[in-house]
Amino acid sequence: ASDFGIYDALKVLGIKEINEGSSTGTNNFSSGETIASFSPVDGSLIAKVKTTTKEDYEQVMGTATAAFKEWRTKPAPQRGEIVRQFGDKLRELKEPLGKLVSYEMGKSYQEGLGEVQEMIDICDFAVGLSRQLHGLTMHSERPGHRMYEQYHPLGVVGIISAFNFPVAVWAWNTALAWICGDVCIWKPSEKTPLCGIACQHIAATVFKENNLPEGISCLINGDYNVGELMTGDARIPLVSATGSIRMGKIVAQAVAARLGKSLLELGGNNAIIVTPDADIKMTVIGAVFGAVGTAGQRCTSTRRLIIHESMYDKVKNAIVAAYNQLRIGNPLDENNHVGPLIDTDAVLQYNKALQQVVNEGGNLIVEGGVLEGQGYESGCYVRPAIAEAENHFKIVQHETFAPVLYLIKYSGDVENAIAIQNGVVQGLSSAIMTNNLREAEQFLSAWGSDCGIANVNIGTSGAEIGGAFGGEKETGGGRESGSDAWKVYMRRQTNTINYTTELPLAQGIKFDL
C-alpha cells in the first residue's frame, strides 16, 4: 500500500494512528467499539475508528446546538466566505483526499480526484448562493400592507451517506446547509469512516482559523444503530439520507413518525434507450462507462440497455468487443478501467445476480466471474458481465450494486422503449441515444421518462452540480446540489406588515367592536 503514498496522504489529512485502535477526528467524542477500515484495493487494514455511543451522541448534539445559536446570527454572505475558505482548503488537499477516497472506497484515482472536484464545485456554487437566498415580495390585497417571504436557517441537519460517494455527498449537503445557516451532524458509511474523519479535520481547521465553533460540523461514526440516533431525534428537523431503498424506507418512516423532514437519495435502475437513429460510437462509450465505471457502484450506473431490434446485434457486438478490452485491477493504476467492489459481501451479491438472471431465463453473453491471484488478493475484483434479459425479471427490477448490464430488446415506436424504461420502481437517471428530434422530445415530454434525470445523447452516469440532483418513485423524491435545492435546508416564513392605523381583515371580513 505504501507504493501509492497512501500513508503520507493519511498523515497530511490528520489521520495519524494507523492500525492502533483509534483514529478519531477532532470534535469527535466517539468512545464506543472500534470498526476497522479495510481497503478493497489490496485488503489491507488502513486504520480503526471508534464508534459513537448514545452518550457521545448527546455530547455531539450539545456542541451542534450551541454552535447553531452563533452560526445563524452570521449574515449569509459571511457564511459564504467560510465556505469559500473551505473550498480553498479542498483545492490544497485535493490529491491526498482523492487518494484516500480511491484507496478506502476502491474507485479509480481519477474518480477520487473527481469527487473532490465536485466538493470544490459545490463550495463555489454555495458561495454565490449565499448572496441569493431570495424570497418573493407579494402584493397585499389590503391597503397599507406589505407582504413578503423570507428563508431562515432550519437548525441541526443530519446527514447519512453511502459508501460509494464517501466525501462528495456530504459536501453537496453541507456546503448548502452551512450557507443557509444550519449546522450539520454527519454519519458517513461505516465502510468508509476514514473519509469522514479526513473531511471533519479539514472543516475543523477552517472553523478554528476563523474563531468559529467546530460544532458547525460534527461527525458521528458507526452503522445503522448510530444513524437511528438521528432519525428518531426531534432536535434534527431535516435528515438527508443517501443509500439503498431498503434504508430509505426505514429512515423515512422514523423521521415521518415525528413529523420531521427527510431528503432521500436512494437507489436507481438506470437505462439507456438506443433507437434506430442512435450514434453507435457515442452509445458504446456512454453505455460501457456507465455500466463499468466505479465497478457499477454509482447510483446512476447504467443497469439496462433498451435497444431497438433493428440495431440490437450491432450494438451488442460493439459492446461485447469493448468489454473484451477492459483492464481490471488496482484503481490507483491509471491504466486500469475497473477497480474492486467495496467488499466481499458485494461480490456475493454480484454472484447471486448472475445466477438469478440465468435461473429466470436470461442469457449471459459476457460471463463475468471473480478474479483471483496476484493483485486480486482482497477478493473484491470481478469481471463486468452482460446478460440478455427481460425487463420483468425480478433480478432486472432490482438494483444490483455491481457491474452487471442487462440488454433488453424493443420493437416498434420509442413509446414502447419508454414504457420499458419506466417499468421499474426506481426513478433516478435515464438516457436516450438518438438523432431523431421527435424521439428525443417524446422522451423528455410529460409522457416520457419518469426519472429525476433524463439525458439526450449522454449516458445515465454522473451529473453536474449546477442541476438539482435526485430521483422519483422509490429513489425517494429528494433533490440536492444545484438549482433551488437549497430551499429544503431552510424554513420559509411569510411576513405581512401593516403600516396604517387601521386593521382591515383579509377576505373583506368585518369584525366591528
Residue 247 vs 424, nearer CB to ligand NAD: 247
For 88-123, the DSSP string reads HHHHHTHHHHHHHHHHHH---HHHHHHHHHHHHHHH
The verdict on 434 binding ligand NAD (CB under 6 A) reads no
Given 23, 37, 108, 242, the residue binding ligand NAD (CB under 6 A): 242
Residue 255 vs 284, nearer CB to ligand NAD: 255
Q: Is 257 exposed, middle or buried (0-12, 13-18, 19+ CB in 10 A)?
A: exposed
The verdict on 227 binding ligand NAD (CB under 6 A) reads yes
Residue 68 vs 401, nearer CB to ligand NAD: 401
Site for ligand NAD in 395-414 (CB under 6 A): 399, 401
Residue 60 vs 247, nearer CB to ligand NAD: 247
Phi-psi region of 16 (alpha: psi -120 to 50; beta: other; left: phi over 0): alpha
The verdict on 250 binding ligand NAD (CB under 6 A) reads yes
Rounded Cα gap, residues 98 and 115, in angstroms: 7
Number of residues that bind ligand NAD (CB under 6 A): 30
The verdict on 267 binding ligand NAD (CB under 6 A) reads yes
Given 30, 52, 189, 270, the residue binding ligand NAD (CB under 6 A): 189
Site for ligand NAD in 296-335 (CB under 6 A): 299
> Residue 239 forms beta bridges with which residues?
158, 262
Counting DSSP H helices and E strands in the chain, the numbers are: 15, 23
The verdict on 164 binding ligand NAD (CB under 6 A) reads yes
Q: At closest approach, how far in Å is the CB of 228 from ligand NAD? A: 5
Dihedral, CA of residue 462, residue 463, residue 465 and residue 466, to nearest 10: 170
CB atoms within 10 A of CB 107: 29
Q: At closest approach, how far in Å is the CB of 232 from ligand NAD? A: 9
Q: Which stretch binds ligand NAD (CB under 6 A): 25-33, 77-85, 264-272, 372-380?
A: 264-272
Q: Annotated catalytic, 265?
A: yes
Residue 487 vs 491, nearer CB to ligand NAD: 487
> Residue 87 forms beta bridges with which residues?
none
- The residues, ordered by sequence, that sit 6+ positions from 509 with a Cβ below 8 Å of its Cβ are none
Residue 203 vs 247, nearer CB to ligand NAD: 247
In 42-163, DSSP assigns E strands to 45-50, 137-138, 145-153, 156-160
Rounded Cα gap, residues 461 and 278, in angstroms: 18
Given 9, 127, 160, 408, the residue binding ligand NAD (CB under 6 A): 160
Instruction: Identify the residue whose cell numbers are 487518494.
Output: 99
Q: At closest approach, how far in Å is the CB of 78 from ligand NAD? A: 30
* Residue of 118, 265, 399, 480 marked catalytic: 265
CB atoms within 10 A of CB 177: 28
Give the catalytic positions in this structure. Answer: 265
